[in-house]
């Protein structure tokens, strides 16, 4: 359309506006950029210093509460003498395998339940009761069936992580814009295509937040399995053994390691959450 009708002029104006948004750059001082990391470093340094001073007084029993320095040195020696790394590897490996299995079960089941009323009706009572039931309750049964070992530890992780993923996917599917599904019908998508081209991408942010919760629950499951499973492997086992030996420095070192690990995983999924659906942020603003 080369003629300049009101309509094309309108399109041209719109195009111009979209191409050249009125953004001017402003000066950012070094402090604005570095504020968050600097404050975090000072904050943590102060925390461990106060801890150190507090633990050095006779107010607490060093048997239960080590100095911060002792904790760090236990952490260092643990990695240096190679006693900690295989245990960390075992735990992380189990967690990751467990999460992959949970995602492979939870995502399709959740999507299917969310989109299919009959499946929802039939499976709901089981899914919700298994979601609500504390995972520890399964331990005696699992030990009975699987014995003390890796299968049991992995199973408890899968049991812990699968259900939050299912529930989140289900909730996500219910937010899918019905007019998108109608558009799918109009343009002849098959049922399977509706899942892969509309429902799955639309639900992706919910899937990621399901994984986020799955990680948190899976970590709990991992520790329960290692603490009660008695297989002699994993960070939970190190915790258990350290407590038996009144080795509070190692105990706290492992707790610190677990805290870092959890925060890292949760931050990763939060980052992923923002990445998978940039349009949602835009809509929210």
Partner 1 sequence: MPQVQVLADDRKDAPGVSPGDTLISVRGVTAGYDNVRAATRLIALRDIDLEIRKGEFLAIVGPSGCGKTTLINMIAGFVRPISGTIEVRGKEVTSPGADRAMVFQDYALLPWRTVEANVHFALENRSVQVTKEEASARIAEVLDLVGLGGFAKSYPHQLSGGMQQRVGIARALVTRPEILLMDEPFGAVDAMTREAMQAELEKIIAASGQTVVFITHSIDEAVALGDRVVVVSSRPGRIKEIIDVDLPRSRFDDEVKRDPRFAEYTQHIWNLLRDEALGAKDER
283 touching partner 1, by CB under 8 A: yes
Q: Is the Cβ of residue 188 or residue 264 nearer to partner 1 in the bound state?
A: 188
Q: Give the up-direction half-sphere exposure of residue 179: CA atoms within 13 A in the CB hemisphere.
A: 0
**What is the C-alpha separation between 161 and 22, in angstroms, rounded?**
46
Secondary structure E strands in the chain: none
**What is the C-alpha separation between 218 and 280, in angstroms, rounded?**
27
DSSP character at residue 137: G
Angle between helices 68-80 and 248-276 (to 10 degrees): 80
Residues 9-68 interacting with partner 1 (rule: CB under 8 A): 9-11, 14-15, 17-18
CB of 107 to partner 1, least distance (A): 17
7 touching partner 1, by CB under 8 A: yes
Q: Is the Cβ of residue 132 or residue 192 nearer to partner 1 in the bound state?
A: 192
Show the tokens assigned to 110: 């959740």
189 touching partner 1, by CB under 8 A: yes
DSSP character at residue 81: T
5 touching partner 1, by CB under 8 A: yes
Q: Which of 190, 246, 260, 275 binds partner 1 (CB under 8 A)?
A: 190
Q: Which of 48, 201, 255, 266 binds partner 1 (CB under 8 A)?
A: 201
Q: Which of 40, 177, 232, 275 binds partner 1 (CB under 8 A)?
A: 177
Q: Is the Cβ of residue 149 or residue 201 nearer to partner 1 in the bound state?
A: 201
Q: Which of 20, 36, 63, 186 binds partner 1 (CB under 8 A)?
A: 186
185 touching partner 1, by CB under 8 A: yes
- The span of 46-54, 71-79, 192-200, 258-266 binding partner 1 (CB under 8 A) equals 192-200
Show the tokens assigned to 247: 């080795």
175 touching partner 1, by CB under 8 A: no
For the chain, the C-alpha Rg in angstroms (whole number) is 26
Q: Which of 121, 183, 259, 263 binds partner 1 (CB under 8 A)?
A: 183
Q: Which of 179, 191, 244, 264 binds partner 1 (CB under 8 A)?
A: 179
Residue 199, CA distances (Å) to 117, 192, 196, 212 in order: 15, 10, 6, 20
Determine the distance from the C-alpha atom of residue 224 to the mean position of all C-alpha atoms in its chain, rounded to a whole number. Answer: 18
Q: Is the Cβ of residue 56 or residue 177 nearer to partner 1 in the bound state?
A: 177
Q: Which of 37, 82, 125, 188 binds partner 1 (CB under 8 A)?
A: 188
197 touching partner 1, by CB under 8 A: yes
**What is the C-alpha separation between 92 and 268, in angstroms, rounded?**
15
Residue 129, CA distances (Å) to 121, 123, 172, 219 in order: 14, 10, 20, 20
Phi, psi (degrees; rounded to nearest 5) at 108: -60, -40
Neighbours of 22 (CB within 10 A): 5
Enumerate binding residues for partner 1 (CB under 8 A).
1, 5-11, 14-15, 17-18, 177, 179-180, 182-183, 185-190, 193, 197-198, 201, 277-280, 282-283
């Amino acid at each position: 359309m080369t003629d300049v009708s009101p309509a094309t002029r309108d399109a041209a104006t719109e195009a111009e506006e979209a191409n050249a948004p009125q953004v001017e750059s402003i000066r950012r001082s070094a402090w604005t950029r570095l504020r968050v990391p600097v404050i975090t470093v000072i904050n943590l340094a102060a925390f461990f210093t106060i801890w150190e001073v507090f633990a050095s007084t006779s107010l607490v029993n060093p048997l239960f509460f080590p100095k911060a320095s002792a904790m760090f040195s236990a952490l260092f020696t643990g990695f240096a003498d190679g006693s900690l790394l295989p245990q960390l590897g075992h735990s992380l490996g189990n967690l990751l395998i467990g999460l992959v299995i949970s995602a492979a079960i939870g995502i399709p089941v959740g999507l299917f339940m969310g989109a299919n009323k009959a499946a929802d009706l039939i499976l709901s009572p089981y899914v919700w009761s298994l979601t609500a039931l504390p995972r520890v309750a399964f331990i005696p049964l699992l030990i009975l069936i699987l014995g003390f070992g890796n299968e049991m530890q992995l199973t408890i992780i899968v049991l812990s992580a699968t259900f939050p993923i299912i529930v989140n996917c289900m909730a996500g599917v219910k937010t899918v814009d019905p007019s998108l599904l109608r558009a799918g019908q109009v343009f002849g998508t098959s049922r399977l295509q509706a899942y892969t081209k509309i429902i799955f991408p639309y639900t992706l942010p919910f899937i990621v937040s399901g994984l986020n919760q799955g990680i948190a629950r899976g970590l709990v499951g991992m520790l329960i399995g290692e603490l009660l499973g008695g297989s002699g492997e994993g960070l939970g086992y190190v915790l258990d053994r350290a407590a038996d030996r009144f080795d509070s420095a190692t105990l706290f070192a492992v707790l610190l390691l677990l805290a870092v690990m959890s925060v890292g995983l949760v931050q990763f999924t939060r980052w992923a959450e923002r990445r998978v659906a940039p349009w949602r942020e835009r809509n929210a603003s």
